[in-house]
Amino acid sequence: MSTQSESPRVEDADGIFTIRAHDNCRGWNGIRYRQGLSGKNIGSTGLSMNVATIPPGGVAKAHIHDGFEVMLYIMQGRVRHEYGPGCRKTLENAAGDFIYIKPGIPHEVFNIGDEEVVAVVARSDANEWDRIIDYDRSSE
């Protein structure tokens, strides 16, 4: 994927918004995000959606979603979530799995496969990353 900084073009068909296939990405916390829809580009007030990729061996460092829900659909690859207080619990997911993460759950995500992880990510927050808090695994 490209590391282009310009945002993809949004088409507005009288209230139905479209972003056509593109390679524009943003990096955050060890993950690449294909830019999707959010309050920043379509004026959404309660949702955002994009596509996340994690390279083989990659890690999305421990964090908490502050006051918003996240749903994911894994299209490709395998991940291990370490979650809960101190991130001591584990759960593995693979392509075809749907995942829901409640607000406030500390978690760290590891790509445990030999291929890139690709997942559709939907948030109940139109601001995408603005309310994600780093989490210190040794704090609990």
Q: Tell me, yes or no, whether 75 lies in a domain.
A: yes
Nearest to 62 by CA among 80, 77, 78, 82: 82
User: Mean pLDDT per segment of 10 residues, for the chain of length 140 residues?
Assistant: 59 85 68 80 91 94 95 97 97 96 97 96 87 92
Q: CA-to-CA distance for 50 and 123, rounded, in angstroms?
A: 9
Is 58 within a domain?
yes
Q: What is the DSSP letter of 7?
A: P
CATH number of domain containing 71: 2.60.120.10
Q: Where are the alpha helices (DSSP H) in 43-117?
A: none
Confirm whether 27 is domain-assigned. Answer: no
Helices (H), the chain: 39-42
Q: What is the pLDDT of residue 36?
A: 84
Is the CB of residue 77 less than 8 Å from the CB of residue 127? no
Residue 73 lies in a domain: yes
With respect to residue 99, please indicate whether it lies within any of the assigned structural domains. Answer: yes
Identify whether 54 is part of a domain.
Answer: yes
The per-residue pLDDT for 24 is 63
- Model pTM score: 0.83
Domain tally, the chain: 1
Domain limits at 94?
45-139
Residue 34 included in any domain: no
Domain membership flag for residue 128: yes
**What is each CA distance from 14 to 11, 17, 98, in whole angstroms?**
9, 8, 31
